[in-house]
Amino acid sequence: MSTKKKITIKDIANVLGLSTSAISKALNDDSRISEKTKKAVRQVAENLNYQPNHLASALRSGKSRLVGVIIPRNNSNFFSSVLENIEEVLNEKGYNIIITQSNESFEKECKCIESLLFTQVDGIIASMANETTDLSYYEKIKAKGIPLVLFDRGEMALEVDYVGIDDYETSFKIVDHLLAQGCTRIAHMGGYDDTRVYGNRIKGYKDALKERGMPIDERIISKNKLRIDDGRKVMEALLELPNRPDAVYAASDFAALGALQILNERGVKVPEEIALVGFSNEPFTSFLSPAISTVNQNSAQIGKLAAEAFLNRVDAPVEKGEVKKIIIETELLVRASSDKKIR
Amino acid sequence: MSTKKKITIKDIANVLGLSTSAISKALNDDSRISEKTKKAVRQVAENLNYQPNHLASALRSGKSRLVGVIIPRNNSNFFSSVLENIEEVLNEKGYNIIITQSNESFEKECKCIESLLFTQVDGIIASMANETTDLSYYEKIKAKGIPLVLFDRGEMALEVDYVGIDDYETSFKIVDHLLAQGCTRIAHMGGYDDTRVYGNRIKGYKDALKERGMPIDERIISKNKLRIDDGRKVMEALLELPNRPDAVYAASDFAALGALQILNERGVKVPEEIALVGFSNEPFTSFLSPAISTVNQNSAQIGKLAAEAFLNRVDAPVEKGEVKKIIIETELLVRASSDKKIR
DNA sequence: TATATTTGCTACATCGTTATAGCAAATATA
DNA sequence: TATATTTGCTATAACGATGTAGCAAATATA
């Protein structure tokens, strides 16, 4: 009943009168073992219900077949979709993933790295916490020669592979869309611009306006944490202005939600009086009325590409192999909140 | 520069002219090593930037200090909150967690179990996929003597520790609340009743009505996957009925959302004409207008208790130690969708 | 003072695999 | 037929830690 006794390759070896090396090779499909023996070994392994001891092989081979993933927080659809795809790609190659959450805290992020290294992961795929500016822990990973791939929240300063979207370019798409809707005064709810992502969105927004010959008014540009409440407060302030904006581009769906709540509460017509666009395609944006236009970041693709970047690094020589920065296309999802039905 | 060379206890031993056993013992704070030596060892370890090899100690000690967690899907707030708390409790005790997702598929769930066992986890904390009825894989975990804790989606059939809410009792709370609001015809959007969770909610709903002397009408009880679209379809059908319900209790927030969309689209006043209550406290329920009343499942507590249940199993003799079924209180969050302001 | 106990360490085996070297038999090549 | 190569396996030593046995010196007990 109780399978207390653990079956090892030694047991298989005893049954077949072979050496443990032969068993190990047979199970790993080594060319120097005859087909006949392999078949017999596999048969016996199954009969005995043999389960390879991962720890032993990892210790001996120096490969744990474990990949650590660090995400800021697992409450957004974006990250859970990225994770799902990383897992799918890596599982196929025999890797398991260990997921850790930094909770947007630099300190916790360091702990995550520590414990992943402790667990002897073969690589780390990470999205940095917003508050992280000290890159020494990431340098430590690199120094150990462990493949490191960043996604979404990266740092160009770090010489590592990166997969993300073009935030700058996406701001152009949004601004152009709003201009095409006839908007002439587009406000921006931005994140703190010391994070690359939000900085680029702000920069793209300003450059787009400039290139289209529109004025930039700092009074309708805000920077904060982009939570629902931030969106509410900023929207309230915007409505107080002598000349209201006729569009709001929020760099986060949560801020956009806050803005929409205020607009609905005040009876401001969306999109007729003020058009609204968010960012990230959180599922709830489509639940609301009006549904909020937003940006699909192709999270599935980001996950797949990040996993593949890791796999390439494992094979390819790590040293001096020109890091890859992969930027993928975003898709502007135009919904009711910014669709004036103009043709 | 490149720390290619790995530092082991052997290196520390060489520096100090001691044996490796002495180093191991010193680092593990063995009483048979003098304070002076311990201090010296710790000092050298730090100087050399020694990182213990987890695989080696896991192999030798037979304890990996890894705990596997299986969740159906990581897109709900509930699971991500449970995870966060499991991690917090276990990290503190020196455990790392490996998160796997079954995607609600029995087949994938089996793979998750396989790969967790392969990774030699010290225990598994799981919430079962809805379609799982064959418990043989879970029996396999038990047979191996590895602590197993189920949460939320469990099976009484399995003799293992369990942490969850009282779905049956919660249905009483909801029905009573709706009755108190003056509702007399309460519809139920339920899940498939072969899953314990949904079965209990349905049972609680019916028994509550019975106990309060209300009739049960099968025509206003539906069973499906409780996605947004299911909620929409069922709500449409309910509105077609000759005698509409004046309240809807949906066993999922997503179904409740679908229902609300239809009600809003048709101009049915919520809660005046039809009151609505969901289940799970997904964040979006509070974003909507009207905000949907729902049930807070105390996910944080579930996570903490599940982790603690595992820790207890590790210490306590596993055999015949009466399994613990922990049921925690839920909280009904009354919001606009069911609050008729009656006193 | 003789014996028992404690202290502080060393030597060695071990966890379950895999990597390396090597060897006999079978097969290919000259 | 003699030599080279391939095939199919064995023996042995790791990987890096830890647990057990044991031993000398220091300390306690009789």
Q: How many CB pairs under 8 A join A and B?
A: 109
The DSSP line for B2-41 is ---SPP-HHHHHHHHT--HHHHHHHHTT-TTS-HHHHHHH
Place of tokens 């048969």: A43
- Mark residue A94 as left, alpha or beta (left: phi above 0; alpha: psi -120 to 50; beta: remaining): left
Q: Does some domain include residue B213?
A: yes
Residue indicated by tokens 């290139």 = A211
> In this structure, are B26 and B147 located in the same domain?
no
State whether the beta carbon of B289 lies below 7 angstroms from any atom of strand D: no
- For B72-83, write each residue's pLDDT tens digit: 887 778 888 999
Minimum mean pLDDT range among A193-197, B24-28, B196-200, B324-328? A193-197
Which range has the worst mean pLDDT, B72-81, B105-114, B117-126?
B72-81
A213 and A284 part of one domain:
yes
CA angle, B260 then B265 then B270, to 5°? 45
Same domain membership, residue A80 and residue A47: no
CB atoms within 10 A of CB B253: 28
Let me know the angle formed at the C-alpha of B51 by B47 and B55, rounded to the nearest 5 degrees: 160
Residue A194 binned pLDDT confidence (cut-offs 50, 70, 90): confident
Distance B63 CA to D11 C1' (A): 30
pLDDT at A3 over 60: no
Predicted local confidence at residue A57, as pLDDT: 95
A104 with A68, same domain: the answer is yes
Contact residues, chain A, for B97 at CB < 8 Å? 98-99
Number of domains, chain B = 3
Q: CA at A14, C1' at D7: how many angstroms apart?
A: 23
From the CA of B156, how many Å to the C1' of C15?
37
Whether A48 sits with its Cβ under 7 A from any strand C atom: the answer reads no
- Whether residues B84 and B218 fall in one domain: no
Nearest-CB residue to B118 (from A52, A98, A119): A52
Residue A35 within a domain: yes
Mean pLDDT for the stretch of residues B12-33: 96
Domain-located, residue B4: no
- Give the domain range for residue B147: 64-164+298-328
Interchain contact, A98 vs B100, CB within 8 Å: no
Comparing CB atoms, the residue among A2, A98, A283 nearest residue B143 is A2
Q: What is the pLDDT of residues B270-298, one digit of tens each?
A: 999 999 999 999 999 999 989 999 999 99
Do A205 and A338 reside in the same domain of the chain?
Answer: yes
Distance from residue B27 (CA) to nucleotide D28 (C1'), in Å? 29
| Same domain? B248 vs B337 | yes
| A229 shares a domain with A277 | yes
Residue in chain A lying closest to B63 (CA): A55
Predicted local confidence at residue B211, as pLDDT: 97
In the predicted model, is pLDDT for residue B154 greater than 70? yes
One domain for residues B274 and B186: yes
The answer to whether B252 touches A252, Cβ cutoff 8 Å, is no
Does the distance separating the beta carbons of A52 and B59 come in below 8 Å? no
State the pTM of this model: 0.87
Q: Is the CB of B19 under 7 A from strand C?
A: yes
The average pLDDT across A147-171 equals: 91
* DSSP 8-state secondary structure symbol assigned to residue B152: S
Residues A179 and A253 in one domain: yes
- Measured between alpha carbons, how far is residue B127 from residues A318, A321, B74, B149 in Å? 39, 43, 11, 9
Mutate to test the interface with B, among A92, A137, A287, A320 (most CBs of B within 10 A): A287
In this structure, what are the phi and psi dihedrals at residue A96, rounded to the nearest 5 degrees? -110, 155
Tell if the CB–CB gap between B264 and A289 is shorter than 8 Å.
yes
Could you say which nucleotides of strand C lie within 7 A of any protein CB atom?
7-12, 14-22
Does the residue A59 lie in any domain? no
The 10s digit of each residue's pLDDT in B243-279 is 999 999 999 999 999 999 999 999 999 999 999 999 9
Q: With CB atoms and an 8 Å threshold, state whether B144 touches A56.
A: no
Measured to protein CB atoms, the chain D nucleotides within 7 Å are: 7-22
Contact residues on chain A for B289, CB-CB shorter than 8 A: 261, 264
Picking from B83, B115, B287, the nearest residue to A257 by CB comes out as B287
B249 occurs within a structural domain: yes
Q: Smallest Cα–C1' distance to nucleotide C20: which residue has it? A: A21
Question: Residue range A65-80: average pLDDT?
Answer: 88
CATH number at residue A244: 3.40.50.2300
| Gap between the Cα atoms of B302 and B327, Å rounded | 9
Tell me whether residue B31 is in a domain: yes
Mean pLDDT of A52-72: 93
Q: Among all strands, which nt has the closest C1' to A30 (CA)?
A: D8
Report the pLDDT value the prediction gives residue B321, as an integer from 0 to 100.
64
CA of A132 to C1' of C13 (A): 47
Contact B118 A51 (CB under 8 A): yes
Residue B144 confidence (pLDDT): 86
- The verdict on residue A138 lying in a domain is yes
A53 touches strand C (CB under 7 A): yes
My answer on whether B217 and B250 are in the same domain is yes
- At A144 the pLDDT is 87
Residue A57 resides in a domain: no
CB contact under 8 A, B119 and A66: yes
Phi, psi (deg, nearest 5) at residue A87: -60, -45
Condensed to tens digits (0 to 9), the pLDDT of residues A295-342 reads 999 999 999 999 999 999 987 755 666 889 999 999 999 999 999 987
How distant is C1' of D24 from CA of A98, in Å?
48
Q: Give the CA-to-C1' distance from B32 to C2 in angstroms.
A: 26
Q: What is the pLDDT of residues B313-323, one digit of tens each?
A: 987 755 666 88
- Region B35-48: mean pLDDT is 96
Residue A317 in contact with residue B317, Cβ under 8 Å? no
Please tell me the distance from the alpha carbon of residue A259 to that of residue A221, in angstroms, as a whole number: 14
Q: What is the pLDDT of residue B1?
A: 32
Share of chain A above pLDDT 90, in %: 78
Rounded to whole angstroms, the Cα distance separating B26 from B45 reads 11
Q: Residue A39 corresponds to which tokens in the numbers above?
A: 């078949």
Q: What is the pLDDT of residue B133?
A: 83
Residue of B7, B54, B61, B70 best to disrupt the A interface, most CBs of A under 10 A: B54
Q: Do A58 and B55 lie within an 8 Å CB cutoff?
A: yes
Residues 42-71 of A near strand D (Cβ < 7 Å)?
56, 59-60, 62
Strand C–CB B36 distance below 7 A = yes
B6 to chain A: closest CA residue: A144
> Could you check: is the Cβ of residue B45 within 7 Å of any atom of nucleic acid strand D?
no
Q: What is the mean pLDDT of chain A?
A: 92
A273 and A207 together in one domain:
yes
